[in-house]
Amino acid sequence: MKPLIKKLTETFSPSGYENAIREVIIEEIKDFADEIRVDALGNLIARKGSGGKKIMLAAHMDEIGIMVNHVDENGFARFSSLGGVFPQTLVGSRVKFVNGTSGVIGAHFLKRPVRLVMNNKMYVDTGATSPKNSPIQVGDVAGFERPFLDLGKRLVAKSMDDRIGVAVLIETLRELKSTPHEVYFVFTVQEEVGVRGATTSAYGVNPDIGIALDVTGADDVPEIDTKTIFLGKGPTFKFKDAGSLGDPRVIELFIKTARKNKIPYQREVATMGGTDARAIQLTHAGVPVMTLSVPCRYVHSPSEMVDYGDVQNTVKLLTKFLEKKVEL
């Protein structure tokens, strides 16, 4: 899966500009799905199988980024965030705009940490010297520019959130030879700015069960006393986050599947953050949901790290789950 993960993470598609990554995904899945369509908001929906439960799997295609809101008289571009961008990770970062322009993020160095939106102290330097020769303008969007890094067991990239979930869905679609269900592999847009793609796509699919595929913050690093989520110990089953509650019946089905197939897993209660599960859960008259997550260090930074074994085990778990009939 490593070449696939590299291709996905190095494709630039911030929220609202998912065209490039959608084309990459279509090329990867076109020979494995029974039906492929794109809805009005840009969600990519691939169906496999018919009959049984209607199961929706959702992984978001978009990544965090920035949007230009002003170019000053010296050519420096001020910007606002697209999604949860942390200021402390930005200074010195390189960005790439949808139009192909590259730049570096600079800042007025202050003794106290800067707040990205509130005091507007950061800027993108594209080498321009005035608005007239600036290659970017108000409304232009960029993602972070970092190459995929293969450390063997650990993989690092700028958009593991949530291209690793996308990779899991692609590989699961390839591995799933048959299923008694009608499974919808949904690659959603605009998750980072408010789970918007999942809201519309779930309404269209109207599933019996919804499963969001995403990353979750691993806390197995120095200076954190209470460590709960570890790289290398398997995917997590999310019981709760800021946006949704995992349905106990769905979680129990995944626990039984993991135990039967000797797949490691972790139990998770998140105090912050949310996933596409929230939008799916509130669709029509309501949908039982769960979030299946790949542990990730340094989430929402230009260098996010996952464990390759966790990724492979997530594919195995999801494939085994979809091969069998389920009853709630």
Is 191 designated active site?
yes
Query: 29 in the Ramachandran plot: left (φ > 0), alpha (ψ -120 to 50) or beta?
Result: alpha
d(Cα 91, Cα 202) in Å, to the nearest integer? 38
Residue 284: how many CB atoms within 10 A of its CB? 9
Helix (H) / strand (E) element for 67: namely strand 65-71
Distance CA 235, CA 254 (A): 11
- Burial of 224 by CB count in 10 Å (0-12 exposed, 13-18 middle, 19+ buried)? exposed
Contacts of 165 (CB under 8 A, 6+ apart): 59, 60, 213, 214, 215, 294
Token pair, residue 181, equals: 């269900």
Q: How far is residue 176 from each of residues 30, 47, 213, measured CA to CA in Å?
A: 14, 12, 16
d(CA 130, CA 125): 11
Q: How far apart, in whole angstroms, are the C-alpha atoms of residue 153 and residue 302? A: 19
Closest CA to 259 of 247, 249, 251, 269: 251
- Report which of 169, 167, 160 is spatially closest to residue 57, judged by C-alpha positions: 169
Residue 251's closest CA among 240, 262, 239, 243?
Answer: 239
Whole-angstrom Cα distance, residue 187 to residue 173? 12
Report d(CA 279, CA 33) in Å as an integer: 24
Q: How far apart are CA 117 and CA 95, in angstroms?
A: 17
Among the listed residues 18, 182, 191, 304, the single catalytic one is 191
Q: Which residues are catalytic?
A: 191
